[in-house]
Amino acid sequence: MNTATRKYIELDERYGAHNYHPLPVVLERGKGVFVWDVEGRRYFDMLSSYSALNQGHGHPRIVAAAKKQVGKLALTSRAFHNTLMGAFLKRICELTGQDMALPMNSGAEAVETAIKAMRQWGYLRKGIAANRAEIIVCRGNFHGRTTTIVGFSSDPDSSGNFGPATPGFVTVNYGSLEDLEAAITANTCGFLVEPIQGEAGVLVPPEGYLAKARQLCADRKVLFCADEIQTGLGRTGRLFAVDHEAVKPDLIILGKALSGGLYPISAVAASSEVLGLFRPGTHGSTFGGNPLASAIGLAALDVIVREKLPANAAKQGEYFRRRLKEMRHPLVVDIRGKGLLTGLEFRIPTRPLCEKLMERGVLAKDSHEMTIRFAPPLTITRSQLDSALRAIRTALS
């Protein structure tokens, strides 16, 4: 570690709360699938800021849209209309097949919006008694960091010392239809689920689970809400992860790659039966749907569709996992995932392995101690993957 790297890390450690444990690298710039540190070393970015960079670092079309709009009009608040929000929300609705969309900023804000929307629907449409609505969630979930969300997390690091937990949530085992069916009552207004649990270690549910869960929710008059913040917008080889089972959720939550990594943008899309229940004053966001965010979001979605990034993710992801399996590493327990979202589970803690990867020019992150998550930008090519695989093989040997 040279003087410059040490200086930046010491500054972070001195003035920042210690709520993260990053790898000891200080990044300075990025382009496409690569990032460079302050020492001039180049790395493959195999995390993509937890799938916020599906379009790669600094995609020229998205950057151009941001530059054009930031010098024109960045923020109006929702007290006034702007020229771009409507077009942005229309594009989201076209891609998701939903009637309406509600823009927010962070993924956690969008999840909170979906929670409010499901509860409101439960009271106004399903007829649940006041303050009795329940939402079913899955064990191992990760939906954000607000006090409400961490209250139904099963990760002690996320929820410990932040109680009391917000009531109204019931936890079931991920992938279990029997658990889901048993948990539904007359007070159940929604089922909140990740199509693949990314933070839990890239856990893929049994085939058919999502389609059957969606049908069960429809039969029992429960809203099916898919959290596609990490899995959506091409990451798993389809535009949305639920598309693998031809599922159309009642609500779908988007974030991260909705901005191509340039700006915090999120949204909830749903039918008018759900989002149409909001009235002025019942929910809001100063920055949500601002013209800068809308310009960036439109460009980010355009890149995903025009450059056929979901198709590339499907092709390269299958190749990547096949090559990983060919390594036959004695400490690997499982290799799983879809598209360019891959979990490599080991018999040993993986933090030291991530440090070895970093030394070989590959940035990835340990997930739940025993798994390394690989999620490169969806623009990655076969030759770039081969180079990354050579570095991974050397590091893990």
pLDDT for the residue 272: 98
Mean pLDDT of the chain: 97
* Residues 231-242: tens digit of each pLDDT: 999 999 999 999
**Residues 244 and 174 placed together within one structural domain of the fold:** yes
* Residues 153-167: tens digit of each pLDDT: 998 888 889 999 999
**pLDDT surpasses 90 at 375:** yes
**Residues 263 and 352 placed together within one structural domain of the fold:** no
> Which token pair is 298?
């439109």
Are the CB atoms for 280 and 241 separated by under 8 Å? no
**Residues 314 and 296 placed together within one structural domain of the fold:** no
**pLDDT surpasses 90 at 97:** yes
The stretch 206-225 carries a mean pLDDT of 98
**Residues 99 and 241 placed together within one structural domain of the fold:** yes
pLDDT for the residue 157: 84
pLDDT for the residue 259: 98
**Residues 267 and 385 placed together within one structural domain of the fold:** no
Q: How far apart are CA 133 and CA 93, in angstroms?
A: 27
Domain end point (choices 247, 277, 306): 306
Task: Give 3's pLDDT tier (boundaries 50, 70, 90).
Answer: confident
**Residues 100 and 122 placed together within one structural domain of the fold:** yes
**pLDDT surpasses 80 at 391:** yes
- DSSP 8-state code for residue 219: H
pLDDT for the residue 120: 98
pLDDT for the residue 2: 86
**Residues 299 and 314 placed together within one structural domain of the fold:** no
pLDDT for the residue 177: 98
Task: Give 368's pLDDT tier (boundaries 50, 70, 90).
Answer: confident
**pLDDT surpasses 80 at 1:** no
pLDDT for the residue 164: 95
Are the CB atoms for 134 and 189 separated by under 8 Å? yes
Q: What's the CATH code of the domain at 21?
A: 3.90.1150.10
Residues contacting 374, CB < 8 A, separation 6+: 46, 47, 320, 337, 340, 341, 342, 343, 344, 364
Q: Quote the number of domains for the chain.
A: 2
pLDDT for the residue 104: 98
**Residues 94 and 179 placed together within one structural domain of the fold:** yes
pLDDT for the residue 188: 98
Q: What's the CATH code of the domain at 234?
A: 3.40.640.10
DSSP secondary structure string, 56-125?
-BT-HHHHHHHHHHHTT-----TTS--SSHHHHHHHHHHHHT-SEEEEESSHHHHHHHHHHHHHHHIIII
The stretch 240-258 carries a mean pLDDT of 98
Instruction: Please name the helix (run of DSSP H) or strand (run of DSSP E) that holds residue 129, with its range, or none.
Output: none
**Residues 130 and 31 placed together within one structural domain of the fold:** no
Task: Give 198's pLDDT tier (boundaries 50, 70, 90).
Answer: very high
Please give the single-letter amino acid code of residue 12. D
pLDDT for the residue 299: 98
Percent of the chain at pLDDT > 90 equals: 96
Which residues are known to be catalytic?
142, 227, 256
Cα radius of gyration rounded to whole Å, the chain: 21
The residue segments making up the domain with residue 145 are 61-306
**Residues 175 and 294 placed together within one structural domain of the fold:** yes
**Residues 182 and 290 placed together within one structural domain of the fold:** yes
Burial 228-251, CB ≥16 within 10 A → b, else e:
bbbbbbbbbbbbbbbbbbebebbb
* Residues 294-334: tens digit of each pLDDT: 999 999 999 999 999 999 999 999 999 999 999 999 999 99
**Residues 102 and 215 placed together within one structural domain of the fold:** yes
Please give the single-letter amino acid code of residue 132. R
Domain end point (choices 306, 325, 359): 306
DSSP secondary structure string, 226-291?
EE-TTTTTTTTSSSSGGGGGT---SEEEE-GGGGTTSS--EEEEE-HHHHTT--TTSS--SSTT-H
Domain end point (choices 288, 306, 324): 306
Task: Give 152's pLDDT tier (boundaries 50, 70, 90).
Answer: very high
Percent of the chain at pLDDT > 70 equals: 100
